[in-house]
Structure 1
């Protein structure tokens, strides 16, 4: 089926699209390398079956192929691979469960006409105007097969199964359950308008002072003593093994080695300026110097990695302690040195560090006996993290943090005073309005700043209107003062003079639009729950050995 499309499409895709796909496929190769973590490495996972698939993709080529399907489908349908292990696992399980149901429902693979029609509806294969662009199919096939990670059969199976899943979803997805009153209420809510006022209380206008006793501060400190605990601090250094230091040890590659390296990494040398897409993929002779340099860098990186592994093993095998003459001799013999890092406080890596997060994850597990990490690859080199000292976590005595306690006590007291003043002002405003005064006049008499807004709503959010005002106005009765909402500058009160909302009959455009939105929402919830139940059923069967 895919071959028919390739033969029928004579033109190659546009260069920019090829380059875009190259980036996606490079990422794809990386994820495929991380595939085993997608399900489970536990010994029991090799024998557990999820709708006939092993839960260990490492041990089962069929499950590994399904992971590849998942990534191809994700690239085609969303333009990117699953972004983390959790997403990959969820899509892996969902796809297996849905294909199991498609098998049960006897949904066949598409014939040639149905398959072409399906591809034409996929946005990934459409141009900027939404029209099907066959060249994009060809470009995708060219690039994916150049990645050497999967073949035509895998691509064909992934897209064909996408079609089957689509047909399954169309057959079981409900139209979306809605109630007339729910539709009308939602439509009116979206179109409602309000005449309202907002009164602002500035904290700076309040008279406030606090003079706590030592006993009050001591009690405040005692009740929150953990808040003043200083976290553990780790003094770290790193040893860098740079490939540049090993470049002189690398000999020139043979023609066979260079050709093999180029074939495996050809997409790294795409010509972005090529006018003809056929010229975007260069021949070796055209980029030989760059390929040789990259090959040598790869070999130097391998040597640097080996040196770092030998270094770490020697520390372990010879039981060399940090800071001893033997340790210094090791540094000298490997022509490396310690580079001090800023302290690692708690589990927070030092700011502006160029090391990956995994390096500090390892650093957090080091101790006096195992004070060195395994070699860690960064973007440009290999590093070993060295733990030189640990300052344990401790709770300081009251006197050493008294000023901080006083500041916290004062801030909390100010907030409590603000809330208390807000409750008192709301009561005063409500009493004045009950006596016949307008909200604006009452608020002004209490030194509040008042701003009025007319005919505002979700479809008319006037500048200066607080973000939460419409949501609060929906449930606030007319001519009542809201509770004060605390803001950065103090707080504000809301007052609704009047509200209005048009009526929408079943024949109105707004009613039908709202019905469609609510229907899609309930349908999505149903399908999400349905797929979740399928996964749960498969997981239960896997644990019991029933699938």
Structure 2
């Protein structure tokens, strides 16, 4: 849920819209901003200050994202070596610069707009697909965010969006640019080719002992025992705790009464809602409907279809206008209302069908309700256990003792390889946890890291108890493998030299037919190939070489499959006509326009940073990251 929430909000919780300009920060960076802020803030841009806690939240979020992407745990210190701290500082500096500018311009977002954005956010919708107050509050509690923080964060997001939309709208892109890019992307080439198979390298000599020893020692990773790790894992997940939680009938019934609206099937109405600019026109339409005229006749001349005015199976809460809801739910089926005033003018309501509500019965949903209550209790228990485990770890208590203290199961795994294999060749019965093995093989022995969050809002802690490093096997033990590797390498080298010789002969003017005749093979012709083409015959590298060679000239490259090589001659270059593909060129023009818009936003942010000045409190940054 935490990741889901971050995808739907901005600022220190997510900053989704600012992700648009992330590439800009990658280009301009913040190398020159370490001028030394003098207070407890990590970052200052003009009058804007970024607190240490806000930076820490964003830094940890970015580390979690990178860990998921790479499949390997990246901790705070390692993230700093990779420059993640500067990435986060750059992004926060951009947000602060935009906030400073919006304040100067006195840009504002009405409360109603902010409320509607939150109301429409999928993260806060209940089981019926609409905003649910209880869901909203639960999400905030789970993510340790106050309602006011969320509202102000969303307001800042919408305010920045006003500024960025004004800057990036109507970005010009010359037609010639789109045509040039289109021509580059859609160029096709036809090649004549000859496949050189490994057997064409000729007979290989016997390797000497010196050659085998050099290869054996020079490629230890190929001839060593695998690295193995022993580790212990402590897992706390809601589903595991929920199985141990018993909910009584009394507790379930009390929750049922409190949440009845979630389980009751509400009454729904289908109706026509016909808008009119003038109240007198609405009154005339109501009279015609009561007189028995069809809806089609009443709509004639209004420019509206029946589908335009039809509302189907609407609950009272589905109807935004209170006056429309009152009218629709006060009429009998088939009845027509008097003109109703709405925010958009007058309207006439005619109810076409009524589906009565169906109150839920406790016994019918009791089991489902108990499961939900157990899950909610388990989610809170997970957070409580998380805090207790972290408190004990901070006090230096070993993970095994913490597990015994809290009555939790600690699982031990001995001598596991990176792919989860045990010494006997079987697979270890590992729990399904994100990045478990990747994390285990990143850590040193007894190295402490932050807990890793699971997809179901749980956590796991891992402690590496032993590391068995790879060891080079004796040459006599792996002699056959070393000889096979030497033969493969030698054959590849001979085949590469042959291909280079044939390419040189072709480019010196010798015909392809004469060259191929030496091997008793015919010259083949490829289909038209695009720049990104690949197949069993042509690898991506071979195609790249083909597109880098002038028409009529020779080149070579690896085959798409196996150890063969391909000698190629560029037979034909086919360049597309942009005028014959106007729709595709127009689509590409739009893509380029969006790229230009991103560049404009990046330029604005860079200019604002230069204008306001950016400073980083290095000492505070070190304390936050734990350097």
Sort the TM-score into its range (normalised by shorter chain). 0.5 to 0.7
- 1:290 maps to what in 2? 368
Partner of 1:171: 166
The equivalent residue for 1:107 is: 107
**Deviation for aligned residue 1:423:** 1.0
SS of 1:341's partner is strand
What does 1:49-448 align with in structure 2 at a 5 Å threshold?
A: 49-51=43-45, 52-57=48-53, 94-109=94-109, 139-140=130-131, 145=136, 147=138, 149=140, 161-173=156-168, 184-190=179-185, 192-225=187-220, 228-230=223-225, 232-236=227-231, 252=248, 255=251, 259=255, 287-296=365-374, 302=381, 341=413, 343-345=415-417, 353-357=430-434, 361=439, 367=445, 390-431=467-508, 434-435=509-510, 437=511, 439=512, 442-443=515-516, 445-448=518-521
Residue matched to 1:531: 605
Which residue in 2 is equivalent to 1:133?
none
Determine if contact 1:305/1:375 at 8 Å carries over to the other structure.
Answer: no
Deviation of 1:246 after TM superposition, in Å, equals: 10
What is the CA distance between 1:281 and its match in structure 2? 12
Structure 1 residue aligned with 2:32: none
Q: Deviations over 1:435-490 (max 9, x none)?
A: 5x4x3564355345643246x36499799884647654443212111133354331
Instruction: Verify: 1:496 aligned to 2:570, yes or no.
Output: yes
Report deviation, 1:419.
0.9
Q: Show CA shifts across 1:191-218 (max 9, x none).
A: 5454432332222454343421112111
Shift of 1:344: 2.7
Distance 1:142 1:299 in 2: 19
- Check whether the contact 1:25–1:143 (CA below 8 A) recurs between aligned residues: no
CA distance in 2, matches of 1:204, 1:148: 65
Q: Report the TM-score when normalising by structure 2.
A: 0.52
Q: Deviations over 1:1-23 (max 9, x none)?
A: xxxxxxxxxxxxxxxxxxxxxxx
Q: Which runs of 5+ in 1 are unaligned?
A: 1-23, 39-43, 68-83, 126-136
For 1:525 and 1:344, the matched residues in 2 are separated by 48
Matched residue, 2:338: none
Equivalent-residue separation in structure 2 for 1:481 and 1:224 (angstroms):
34
CA distance in 1, matches of 2:506, 2:415: 55
Instruction: Return the match for 1:479 from 549, 552, 564.
Output: 552
* 2:5 maps to 1:28: yes
* Structure with the largest fraction of helix: 1
Question: Alpha carbons of 1:178 and 1:244: their partners in 2 closer, same or farther (altered >3 Å)?
Answer: closer
Once the two structures are superposed, what CA deviation does each residue of 1:46-85 show, in whole Å capped at 9, x if it has no partner?
533444243334699xx99xx9xxxxxxxxxxxxxxxx99
Query: Would the alpha carbon gap of residues 98 and 448 (structure 1) be closer, same or farther in structure 2, given more than 3 Å must change?
Result: farther
Q: Which has the higher contact order (CA 8 A, sep 6+)?
A: 2
The SS at the match of 2:107 is coil
Q: Note the C-alpha offset of 1:160.
A: 5.4
Cα distance in 2 for partners of 1:364, 1:461 equals: 37
TM-score by length of 1: 0.59
State the Cα distance separating 1:97 from its structure 2 match: 3.3
**SS of the counterpart of 1:211?**
coil
Query: 1:21 maps to which residue?
Result: none
Mean Cα displacement is larger for which, 488-497 or 148-157?
Answer: 148-157
Cα distance in 1 for partners of 2:205, 2:185 equals: 47
CA RMSD for the aligned pairs?
6.4
Cα separation, 2, equivalents of 1:447 and 1:472: 25
Structure 2 unaligned blocks of 5 or more: 16-37, 62-78, 123-127, 269-312, 318-356, 422-426, 620-627
Q: Secondary structure at the match of 1:103?
A: helix
Which of these residues, 508, 521, 525, is aligned with residue 452 of structure 1? 525
CA distance in 1, matches of 2:485, 2:430: 32
Count of matched residue pairs: 460
1:415 Cα deviation from its structure 2 partner? 1.7
2-structure distance, mates of 1:281, 1:304: 35
Whole-angstrom distance in 2 between the partners of 1:304 and 1:510: 52
Residue 47 (structure 1) aligned to one of 41, 44, 51: 41
